[in-house]
Structure 1
Amino acid sequence: MNPLLRAEQAVLGSVLLDPGQLSHLDWLAPDHFDRPVHRALFAALRKLRADDHPALAADGAVPLSWVTDAVDEAGLHVRGLTAVYAHTLVSACPRPEHAPAYGRMVLEGAIHRSIAQHAVRLHQAARADALRGEVEGALHHADVLSGVLDDLARRWGTEPRPVAPAAPPVTAPPSPPPTVRADQVAEDERFLLAVLAEQPRAMGQVVGWLRPGDFADPAHGQLYRCLGALHHRGEPIDRITLLWEAQRRGLLADGMLSGDQVTAICDGVGPGSAEWLGEQVIRSSVTRTAVTSARTIRGLAENESLSPGQLINHALHALGPLDDVRTRWRTANGHSPPSPAPASSSNGPPPARVHAALARSTPHPIPPSSAPTRSAPGPAVVRSPSRGHS
């Protein structure tokens, strides 16, 4: 028999044997029980207690009316409950005084079940948003899941904090994205890369919030990384320098990219808005990240060996990437101010490394068409647009 089922039966049996045990189970709610008949019976027992049932004041043996009245009350809300099953619950309880321990088992099962259910809803909302080209449904369900995790942490008596699991959870293979939408996402990524290669100034519009990991195609993400590196160093950007940077990073040798791919992306580009295209790319990244987070959390919830505290903290950690891409999505849409420019932060590259990178370009001045948006004689000013946009 399922251990969780035994725990639910033991809780109910302990209260049927000793009504006073309800005073030790105030933190347990009817919806924490998995089976509807158990939920209805526990709710009935709590109602009898609220109504000051005579059994609560009885000394010695518990009157039979405590059992029969509970069955009658629960029978108003669920079918199939009989006095025979109530006596089965009584026999399933080894020790009535252990009711709080049995109740914690029931709550633990409810925590796993609730987190799994909300992860499924997040997954479904993200898939639907991906098909429609939206993000609001996924972000709403992510907020709901985050609130559920905080509430469950308080009920269990633990401090909610993101903690990475020791080993990645086992999850099912990801569902393939809708073909039509996947093709559109790939086209948007290629078009964005072409615009950035053709209009180097446009990098300043997206570099502050768009990351290589936001691209669905890893090759496109690596090509964007190359564009970002050239922009960061203040070097000229065109199809030749882009191809050279890809070779320098080993992308041509390991088969991630080919020269023909780079040429095909750079050729035939028309006018386009890098900012608008970047928003399309990060929008798909939001729903894709939400799907990944949901699948990870569901895998964690289905791992019965995790304690509730571990499960809650690992689930919060799995929501971290979604929180990050959501923040950048809001920045791209003007809902919040852009993050401070990394160039002025203590986490930026050491000055010596920056000057060494810039030195590689000093023999050949940057052509006017490839110059950054803010032109200035010093290399430090040339680098400033690469760190954000306003």
Structure 2
Amino acid sequence: MPPTYTPSEGTGLEDTPPAAPVLYAEQALLGALLLEPARLADLDHLAAEHFGDHAHSALYAAMRTTPVPDPDQHHRSPVWLSRVLEAARPQAPGLTASYLHTLVQRCPWPGHAAAYARMIQADHARRTVREHAERLAQAATDKSLPDAAATVLARCDTLSSFLDTLSGRFAPHPGSLPRTPHPAPARRAAGAEAQEEEQALLACATAQPSGLRRMRWLQPDDFALPRHGQLFTCLTALVHRREPIDPVTVLWEAQHQHLLQADFTPADLIDLLATPVGTPEHWGEKILRRALLTQAHTTALRIRAFTDDAANTPHQLATGSRRALADLTALRTRWQRATHAPATPRSPAVPRAGPRLRATAASPATRVSR
């Protein structure tokens, strides 16, 4: 029985998890090529970086750079094997001649080399989709980025482009959707800053209800605090019915929507709407931006879950990832509508009295009276 394989065998990395199926495919392919180097001519689509094991990648790259011998000469002498090993060792010093013989033993049938190559490509596609998902998740949560929304959308485009390429490389088949359960949605953080911005939006929209008619790009689900989203629904309902809007009429609508509770009294609502600062559009953009980043993070986690499930084929990965991106794409469309709207004149910033609400130059904070 052949010895148990460990990734990068012969490099001293014996304390590793059990070998994944793709590593057996890598071994089988390399063994086929060691036996019949002429088969390299049929593998132009396979690159060294497609291999998951570093030593295997180095060995395949060495095969690509070492002139293929004449078949009869190769059967008579192992010169080519020695040259390949010598070319690969600078990148993988642990490779040995005995491991090359192990690879030969691990090849069930050299004529199946093309099938082994497709397996290697499929696993590389899975790893690449995961890398794109990781980058998307990182951008969505990195508070140091100067323009996180733009970075998130750029990485979303890169991921979408790779999914298109993936669809072109692998044939579709029945059962195109992954069966992987969706991970539990990340709980949206409703921190102090998010709550203040949402309260500012509600107060400004009450003072300037005409602005709501220009803000169809904002939806109740965009709010981090569900109660604020419900109050936004009250405001949009009043605007739709063309009814008078002020803190009292909003309070009356909130009562009809069962929003007044022991922990949220009429006085609390009146106080929340009492001090409008800035414009509804400004605060709405901030709320939508946070929703965009949250959705991007949720989407990335879902796609990562697909890639963690080795049962998914490349076609299922592409189909499931596109489905996961659909909600983010819809939110992105609204974000673009919000940020490309005609700019309105804004007044110099005047800070609101209060310890927490932050009014910036980009957020002209003027108390509105009607």
**TM-score scaled to structure 1, two decimals?**
0.74
Aligned-partner residue type, residue 16 of structure 1: L
CA offset digits 1:296-335 (Å, max 9, x no partner) = 1111110111111011111111112222222222221217
Aligned-partner residue type, residue 222 of structure 1: Q
CA offset digits 1:268-305 (Å, max 9, x no partner) = x1342111111111111221111111111111110111
Alignment match, 1:88 = 102
Alignment match, 1:315 = 321
CA offset digits 1:54-89 (Å, max 9, x no partner) = 23x437837412222211111233321121111111
Counterpart selection for 1:328 from 328, 334, 344: 334
The count of residues paired between Structure 1 and Structure 2 equals 325
Equivalent position SS for 1:169: coil
Shift of the 67–244 alpha-carbon distance from structure 1 to 2, 3 Å rule, reads farther
Q: Residue 289 in 1 paired to residue 289 in 2?
A: no
Equivalent position SS for 1:209: coil
Distance 1:292 1:175 in 2: 9
Equivalent position SS for 1:276: helix
Equivalent residues of 2:194, 2:287 under 8 A apart: yes
Deviation of 1:234 after TM superposition, in Å, equals 2.0
Equivalent residues of 2:51, 2:57 under 8 A apart: yes
Distance 1:189 1:114 in 2: 38
Counterpart selection for 1:184 from 148, 170, 193: 193
Structure ranking higher in helix proportion: 1
Instruction: Give structure 1 stretches of 5+ with no counterpart.
Output: 337-368, 371-390
Distance 1:224 1:83 in 2: 71
CA offset digits 1:200-250 (Å, max 9, x no partner) = 1121232x2112222122221222122222222223323343334334444
Distance 1:312 1:211 in 2: 29
Equivalent position SS for 1:203: helix
Alignment match, 1:265 = 272
Counterpart selection for 1:6 from 13, 24, 48: 24
Counterpart selection for 1:109 from 117, 123, 130: 123
Q: Residue 274 in 1 paired to residue 276 in 2?
A: no
Equivalent residues of 2:180, 2:306 under 8 A apart: no
Alignment match, 1:226 = 234
Distance 1:59 1:226 in 2: 84
Equivalent residues of 2:180, 2:305 under 8 A apart: no
Equivalent residues of 1:165, 1:314 under 8 A apart: yes
Alignment match, 1:44 = 62
Deviation of 1:188 after TM superposition, in Å, equals 0.6
Deviation of 1:165 after TM superposition, in Å, equals 5.1
Alignment identity in percent? Answer: 38
Distance 2:166 2:76 in 1: 34
Shift of the 65–246 alpha-carbon distance from structure 1 to 2, 3 Å rule, reads farther
Over the aligned positions, Cα root-mean-square deviation in angstroms equals 3.0
Aligned-partner residue type, residue 234 of structure 1: R
Instruction: Give structure 2 stretches of 5+ with no counterpart.
Output: 1-18, 343-368
Shift of the 167–262 alpha-carbon distance from structure 1 to 2, 3 Å rule, reads farther
Greater shift in the superposed pair: 311-320 or 73-82: 73-82
- Written as runs of structure 1 = structure 2, the 5 A alignment for 1:1-390 is 1-48=19-66, 51=67, 53-55=68-70, 57-58=71-72, 61=75, 63-129=77-143, 134-158=148-172, 168-170=181-183, 174=186, 182-206=191-215, 208-252=216-260, 259=266, 261-267=268-274, 269-334=275-340
Higher relative contact order (CA 8 A, sep 6+): 1
CA offset digits 1:148-206 (Å, max 9, x no partner) = 222222222459xxx865664235x74885x9xx3212211111011112221121232
Shift of the 151–79 alpha-carbon distance from structure 1 to 2, 3 Å rule, reads farther
Deviation of 1:24 after TM superposition, in Å, equals 3.3
Shift of the 86–42 alpha-carbon distance from structure 1 to 2, 3 Å rule, reads same
Aligned-partner residue type, residue 271 of structure 2: A
Greater shift in the superposed pair: 215-224 or 7-16: 215-224
Equivalent residues of 2:197, 2:287 under 8 A apart: yes
Shift of the 232–65 alpha-carbon distance from structure 1 to 2, 3 Å rule, reads farther
Equivalent residues of 1:129, 1:287 under 8 A apart: no
Aligned-partner residue type, residue 13 of structure 1: G
Shift of the 270–335 alpha-carbon distance from structure 1 to 2, 3 Å rule, reads closer
Distance 1:303 1:24 in 2: 30
**TM-score scaled to structure 2, two decimals?**
0.78
Distance 1:142 1:131 in 2: 16
Distance 2:29 2:92 in 1: 19
Equivalent residues of 1:123, 1:290 under 8 A apart: yes
Distance 1:67 1:60 in 2: 9
Distance 1:265 1:194 in 2: 7
Aligned-partner residue type, residue 183 of structure 1: A
CA offset digits 1:106-141 (Å, max 9, x no partner) = 122112111111111111111114876732222222
